[in-house]
Amino acid sequence: MRCEKVMEKLEELSPLMYASEWDNVGLQTGRQDKEVRRIYIALDATDEVVEEAVKKEADMLLTHHPMIFKPVKKITGEHFIGRRLIKLIQHDICYYAMHTNFDVMGMADAAADEIGLKNRKVLETTFEDEISKEGFGRIGRLPKVMTLWECAQLVKNEFGIAHVKVFGDLEADLETAAILPGSGKSMIRAAIDGGADVMITGDIDHHDGIDAKAQGLFIIDAGHFGLEQIFVPYMKEYLNRECKDIEVIAPEQEPPFVVI
């Protein structure tokens, strides 16, 4: 299957129109007429991921976070991004990123499914027409009334996370939750206004956590990686179904840090 046909399948799932204006999604390097027989999926296009894609003789690298965010004025081996781009181009590997378009059309509902969120709605609307509202995150009812401690355990178990950071009373009962994979501090107000008892997200700092708690919103910070790692198995399943002639390599993701 040619790269352009794979792109069509990816954009059927997560159309580019749903990406934020500041984002950089889609094909970042490579030829649209490239024949793709093997795709390597990862959360980030790190040095190790690019090296593995080369070793596995992948024809396409697919990641959630784009490697290129800011304009690139030079592509040289002296810069870490330049080295990755050079290696991808040298080995004729197409590189495609699906970031905020997937956050809106894919990630939000997938994360809500993991914790069994019911009667869910969009947390922050970014697109609306006569048919639907779409946007970042979801808010809805938990599968049952549970304590904050039980909810934290649910998140750990369903996402396979060793540790979470919690702001709030662990014995308090919860009925409604907001979930936003990635960095969620900008959505705290939306979660409060939506009536959530708890917000499950990542990248919450000290002040945002204690301020949210003071306003009646508990926080479970499962980490940016912790929630968004579901991108890899999600896309593997999708590509296996939609591109049956392509081999999909989707190794288990390892956190880019250790907690000591």
Strand runs labelled E in 108-229: 118-128, 133-147, 165-167, 173-183, 198-202, 218-221
Instruction: Please count the other Cβ atoms lying within 10 Å of the Cβ belonging to residue 180.
Output: 28
Task: Please give the share of the chain, as a percent, with pLDDT higher than 90.
Answer: 96
36-54 pLDDT tens trace: 999 999 999 999 999 999 9
Q: What is the pLDDT of residue 115?
A: 98
Alpha-helical (H) ranges within 56-182 are 80-90, 100-102, 108-114, 148-159
Q: Indicate the pLDDT class of residue 70, thresholds 50, 70 and 90.
A: confident
Q: Is the pLDDT of residue 156 over 90?
A: yes
Q: Is the pLDDT of residue 163 over 90?
A: yes
**Residues 201-226: what's their mean pLDDT?**
98
Q: Which two tokens stand for residue 177?
A: 């939750």
Q: Is the pLDDT of residue 231 over 90?
A: yes
**Residues 171-192: what's their mean pLDDT?**
98
Q: Indicate the pLDDT class of residue 21, thresholds 50, 70 and 90.
A: very high
| Residues 165, 152: Cα–Cα separation, whole Å | 9
Q: What is the pLDDT of residue 71?
A: 87
Task: Please give the share of the chain, as a percent, with pLDDT higher than 70.
Answer: 100
**Residues 47-76: what's their mean pLDDT?**
96
Using alpha carbons, select from 166, 174, 172 the residue that is nearest to residue 140. Answer: 174
237-256 pLDDT tens trace: 999 999 999 999 999 999 99
Q: Is the pLDDT of residue 6 over 90?
A: yes
**Residues 84-96: what's their mean pLDDT?**
98
Instruction: Please count the other Cβ atoms lying within 10 Å of the Cβ belonging to residue 8.
Output: 12
Q: Indicate the pLDDT class of residue 154, thresholds 50, 70 and 90.
A: very high
| Residues 194, 171: Cα–Cα separation, whole Å | 22
